[in-house]
């Protein structure tokens, strides 16, 4: 593993601004000005969706553990050689724009989110549509711990000990039809609990998606916890996906809907800026973001002065996933 350090007098203008919504944020601020002039912003998109899950769903007996409660998980072969990121960095430096675009906004404000009871609507091309509780989807007696690399498109990274179950098992349980080619995930949306959704940084609700063969890959994970505890709200309680060979935004937090489709999902960041955020978004040091290099990454919570490491193809998971993209031009399908 090669590590490089920033030069001592680093030019801060060249440091990634930690904002993949850089331009959108300016739009948001402008829109906020408009809002004070009395024009309502459209943030209630999902509220008109009859099959919306989340805390307002119909689940009665959901008994998944509260955020922060201890949960037991078996160790697995999924480990990395680099240090695990300190817990306070994982839970204190977050992207969850529904609570604000600063890294400290989610830890500060996500407490307002109701995460129990919780339900997940399963829709689209499936033989098992309906409303599920977290416990319907996740067997808390079969939790695994997987220590994965976590690489944000903003060129920072962590090493995170997620707790959860393989996504493949959940997909099987939800019986996509033979025609289904993609799975789409949707995040909870509640403008009273999520102060960030007053700003149209993206077109809420947050949507992510995967090709079904990607979702069934052995690495794809539905996480319900981290550091041996039920998922903190700011990290996407009660359940969120983790797709470690892709940029972090491909993981969808606080999931209220899982839908199967034969069309490539229109994902939130792709809709916001297709030129910068492709559907695949595989970690790739050879394909730069239009506004910054992806060749290396800043290690969050790392020891020393702004430690960096070189970014690995598919975030170090080439052996597990390269076959999924055989014959594809990854500079076009970025
Ligand atoms: N609903 C929702 N999911 C989201 C985001 C978000 O803003 N909203 N941010 C994404 C991004 S950019 C990253 S890097 C990861 C961050 O996860 P973490 O805060 O647990 O490290 O969540 C992803 N999932
Ligand atoms: Mo990210």
Instruction: Write down the pLDDT at residue 39.
Output: 35
Instruction: Write down the pLDDT at residue 48.
Output: 35
Tell which wins on pLDDT, 126 or 15: 126
- Assign domain 19-52+65-324 to its CATH architecture: Alpha-Beta Complex (3.90)
235 Cβ inside 6 Å of ligand 1: yes
Average of per-residue pLDDT across 102-121:
98
253 Cβ inside 6 Å of ligand 1: yes
For residue 129, how far is its CA from the centre of ligand 2 (angstroms)? Answer: 30
Average of per-residue pLDDT across 112-140:
98
The proportion of the chain whose per-residue pLDDT surpasses 70, expressed as a percent, equals 82
What's the rounded Cα separation, in Å, for the pair 174 and 137?
Answer: 9
- Closest atom of ligand 1 to 96 CA is 7
What's the rounded Cα separation, in Å, for the pair 10 and 37?
Answer: 41
Mean pLDDT (the chain) is 88
Ligand nearest to the CA of 113: 1
CA angle, 38 then 42 then 44, to 5° = 125
The model's confidence at residue 85, banded by pLDDT at 50, 70 and 90, is very high
Instruction: Write down the pLDDT at residue 27.
Output: 54
Contact 119, 58 (CB under 8 A): yes
CA angle, 97 then 160 then 253, to 5° = 30
On the question of pLDDT at 36 being above 50, the answer is no
238 Cβ inside 6 Å of ligand 1: no
227 Cβ inside 6 Å of ligand 1: no
What's the rounded Cα separation, in Å, for the pair 88 and 257?
Answer: 29
- Residue nearest atom 10 in ligand 1 by C-alpha distance: 249
Instruction: Write down the pLDDT at residue 30.
Output: 52
Instruction: Write down the pLDDT at residue 20.
Output: 60
Ligand nearest to the CA of 252: 1
Instruction: Write down the pLDDT at residue 305.
Output: 87
**Terminal CA-CA length for the chain:** 25
For residue 94, how far is its CA from the centre of ligand 1 (angstroms)? Answer: 7
The model's confidence at residue 40, banded by pLDDT at 50, 70 and 90, is very low
The model's confidence at residue 306, banded by pLDDT at 50, 70 and 90, is confident
What's the rounded Cα separation, in Å, for the pair 78 and 294?
Answer: 24
204 Cβ inside 6 Å of ligand 1: no
Coil, helix or strand at residue 308: strand
pLDDT in tens, 172-226: 999 999 999 999 999 999 999 999 999 999 999 999 999 999 999 999 999 999 9
Contact 83, 285 (CB under 8 A): no
214 Cβ inside 6 Å of ligand 1: no
206 Cβ inside 6 Å of ligand 1: yes
What's the rounded Cα separation, in Å, for the pair 113 and 170?
Answer: 24
Instruction: Write down the pLDDT at residue 11.
Output: 33
Instruction: Write down the pLDDT at residue 303.
Output: 86
The model's confidence at residue 19, banded by pLDDT at 50, 70 and 90, is low
Q: How many residues does the chain have?
A: 334
Joined tokens for residue 205: 């609700």
On the question of pLDDT at 93 being above 60, the answer is yes
Joined tokens for residue 298: 């800043």
Instruction: Write down the pLDDT at residue 53.
Output: 75
295, burial (CB in 10 Å: exposed 0-12, middle 13-18, buried 19+): middle
Domain boundaries, the chain: 19-52+65-324
On the question of pLDDT at 43 being above 90, the answer is no
On the question of pLDDT at 16 being above 70, the answer is no
- Residue nearest atom 11 in ligand 1 by C-alpha distance: 249
Composition of the chain by helix, strand, coil, percent to 5: 25, 25, 50
Average of per-residue pLDDT across 287-316:
96
Ligand nearest to the CA of 94: 1
On the question of pLDDT at 45 being above 60, the answer is no
Average of per-residue pLDDT across 91-95:
98
- Closest atom of ligand 1 to 106 CA is 19
Least confident of 17-21, 152-156, 279-283: 17-21
156 Cβ inside 6 Å of ligand 1: no
194 Cβ inside 6 Å of ligand 1: no
Beta-carbon contacts of residue 57 (< 8 Å; ≥ 6 apart): 117, 118, 119, 120, 121, 131, 256
For residue 127, how far is its CA from the centre of ligand 2 (angstroms)? Answer: 33
Instruction: Write down the pLDDT at residue 188.
Output: 98
- Residue nearest atom 8 in ligand 1 by C-alpha distance: 96
Among 46, 88, 93, 95, name the best residue to mutate to test ligand 1's pocket (greatest count of ligand atoms within 8 A of Cβ).
Answer: 95
């Amino acid at each position: 593993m090669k590590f490089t350090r920033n030069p001592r007098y680093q030019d801060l203008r060249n440091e990634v601004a930690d904002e993949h919504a850089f331009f959108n944020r300016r739009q948001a601020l402008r829109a906020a000005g408009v809002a004070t002039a009395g024009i309502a912003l459209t943030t209630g998109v999902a509220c008109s969706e009859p099959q919306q899950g989340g805390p307002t769903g119909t689940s009665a007996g959901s008994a998944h553990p509260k955020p922060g409660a201890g949960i037991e998980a078996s160790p697995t072969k999924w480990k990395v050689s680099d240090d695990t990121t300190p817990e306070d960095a994982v839970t204190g430096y977050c992207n969850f724009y529904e609570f604000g675009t600063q890294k400290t906004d989610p830890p500060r404000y996500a407490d307002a989110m109701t995460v129990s009871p919780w339900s997940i609507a399963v829709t689209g091309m499936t033989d098992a549509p309906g409303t599920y509780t977290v416990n319907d989807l996740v067997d808390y007696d079969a939790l695994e711990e997987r220590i994965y690399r976590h690489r944000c498109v903003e060129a920072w990274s962590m090493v995170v000990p997620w707790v959860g179950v393989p996504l493949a098992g959940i997909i099987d349980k939800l019986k996509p039809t033979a025609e289904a080619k993609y799975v789409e995930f949707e995040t909870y949306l509640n403008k009273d609990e999520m102060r960030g959704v007053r700003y149209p940084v993206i077109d809420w609700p947050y949507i992510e998606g995967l090709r079904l063969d990607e979702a069934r890959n052995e690495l794809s994970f539905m996480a319900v916890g981290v550091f041996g505890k039920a998922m903190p709200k700011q990290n996407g309680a009660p359940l969120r996906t983790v797709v470690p060979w892709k940029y972090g935004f491909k993981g969808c937090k606080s999931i209220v809907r899982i839908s199967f489709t034969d069309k490539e999902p229109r994902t939130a960041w792709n809709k916001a800026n297709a030129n910068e955020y492709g559907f695949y978004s595989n970690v790739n040091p050879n394909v730069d973001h239009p506004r910054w290099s992806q060749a290396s990454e800043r290690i969050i919570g790392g020891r020393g002065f702004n430690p960096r490491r070189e970014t690995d193809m598919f975030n170090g998971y080439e052996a597990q996933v390269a076959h999924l993209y055989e014959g594809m031009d990854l500079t076009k399908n970025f």
